[in-house]
């Protein structure tokens, strides 16, 4: 993971929300990368299980799933919404 000595206020707020969501929903999942996308403003944790937890400008987190079959990013407002999506996909 990248080490940085200081963070802007909204970046720090976003990081705290991302880590809180990780602790509540994904603790124990392997972290592939922690980062900041200057183009989107997202701070994020990319996990080995295929989900990314992200917050833009300190807002609530999004759970982002990358679908390798469709080359599409799918955004979810909650981890429960993401789990429901996976259940639906597995039932197809």
Alpha-carbon distance 52 to 32, whole Å? 10
Residues with Cβ within 8 Å of 2's Cβ and at least 6 positions away in sequence, in order, are 34, 35
pLDDT values of the chain reduced to their tens digit, one per residue, 92 residues: 455 667 788 888 999 999 999 999 999 999 999 999 988 889 999 999 889 999 998 999 999 998 888 899 999 999 999 999 989 988 87
Instruction: Output the pLDDT for position 15.
Output: 93
Euclidean distance between CA atoms 23 and 47, whole angstroms: 13
Question: What pLDDT, on a 0 to 100 scale, did the predictor assign at position 42?
Answer: 92
Would you state the pLDDT for residue 9?
83
């Amino acid at each position: 993971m990248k080490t940085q000595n200081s963070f802007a206020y909204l970046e720090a707020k976003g990081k705290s929300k991302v880590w809180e969501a990780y602790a509540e929903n994904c603790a124990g999942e392997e972290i592939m990368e922690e980062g900041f996308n200057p183009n989107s403003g997202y701070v994020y944790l990319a996990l080995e299980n295929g989900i990314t937890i992200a917050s833009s400008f300190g807002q609530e987190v999004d759970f982002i799933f990358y679908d390798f079959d469709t080359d599409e990013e799918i955004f979810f407002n909650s981890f429960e919404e993401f789990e429901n999506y996976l259940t639906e996909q597995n039932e197809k």
